[in-house]
Amino acid sequence: MSMKPQMKTNIGRINFIQPLDPMLSPERFDPVKVVPLMPNFGARIEGLDLREAISEAVKAKLREAFLRFGVLFFSDQERLSEDKQIEVTRIFGAPDEGSPFIPKRAKNVDVLITDASNPPYANLWHSDNSGLPHASFGTLIQIQECPPVGGNTAWCSTQKAYECLSDHMKRCLEGLVAIHYWDKRGQESMTSTVSYDDDDSYYGRYFEYLKKFPPQKHPVVRTHPITGRKSIFVNEVFTTFIEGLHTYESQGILAFLYNWLHIPEFQLFHHWQRNDVAVWDNISMVHYALGDYQEHRVNQRVEFAIDPELSYAAEAAFSNEA
């Protein structure tokens, strides 16, 4: 009698293969030179000096590439002044106040300096400011100083991660709403701005922030306001629980989703060269700044909202695709 095991017919999904989206073909973005980096997300833009004047036609292509790829990289750049970085950001949205917990170099321009005395701390997956009333639509950074090795940043396409879920799981998540809180990790955000010497001032300031920035609600599956595409919108830094579920259910679902976003097929890592620029969509991506260096690193950052004055050139095209 043969001991050969029977072939299993239901072994579950073991890959994450998506057909390549024809709307992401590099020639569609001509004259902008787009080099796709991962199947259906992430691209490098070549041959563009961001200090130079950029035509409206090129800006429209860049805006569309930003929305379709989720994250764009610009290499071989020179240092951008604060004003120039604001101007470049305006291609993609309206610069906003960003995080109140990060030092500013100029209005709406953050500077994040890390080194041995102030080690990196953003090595948790997150969507910028999702715990604040003005959750960032996008972020544009320039790494003006970087370690010779280490200090890379990773992005995860929460859109692709959603699309690769089983239909059963998509149905389970539909309609769920999660709470996001800027101090989920417990007052850490306050340490950079408040002295511990004076407890009254510390807690006074804390409650002031709490009143100004109460916990926020976001759908667990978020529909992008421009592209109409769905993505998983929870993250380890700001999401506290899912409304209406038992705590254990909420913890279990969030743990599953965080694990799902850890799958390498949804991720892209960038090794920085000095003055590289990246811009990403915080709705369709989460990111993680690796904490593995102690050399000097300078990140000049502008966060932005959707600009109602901007024509998101491809908006009509996206709605036709939906």
Site residues for Fe ion per CB under 5 A: 128
Q: In the complex, what is the shortest distance from the CB of residue 286 to Fe ion, in angstroms, rounded to a whole number?
A: 9
Query: CB–CB of 8/36 below 8 Å?
Result: no
Rounded to an integer, what distance in angstroms lies between the CA atom of residue 160 and that of residue 18?
A: 9
Q: Which residue lies nearer to Fe ion by CB, 250 or 282? A: 282
Which runs of E-coded beta strand occur in the chain? 33-38, 41-46, 71-74, 94-95, 104-106, 109-114, 138-145, 153-157, 177-180, 216-219, 221-223, 230-232, 239-242, 267-270, 276-281, 285-289, 297-305
Q: Which residue lies nearer to Fe ion by CB, 64 or 128? A: 128
Q: In the complex, what is the shortest distance from the CB of residue 136 to Fe ion, in angstroms, rounded to a whole number?
A: 9
Tokens of 46: 């070549």
Q: In the complex, what is the shortest distance from the CB of residue 123 to Fe ion, in angstroms, rounded to a whole number?
A: 10
Q: Which residue lies nearer to Fe ion by CB, 250 or 299? A: 299
Q: Which residue lies nearer to Fe ion by CB, 128 or 281? A: 128
Position of minimal CB gap to Fe ion: 128
Q: In the complex, what is the shortest distance from the CB of residue 122 to Fe ion, in angstroms, rounded to a whole number?
A: 5
Rounded to an integer, what distance in angstroms lies between the CA atom of residue 303 and that of residue 60?
A: 19
Q: Which residue lies nearer to Fe ion by CB, 128 or 145? A: 128
Query: CB–CB of 66/92 below 8 Å?
Result: yes
Q: In the complex, what is the shortest distance from the CB of residue 315 to Fe ion, in angstroms, rounded to a whole number?
A: 26
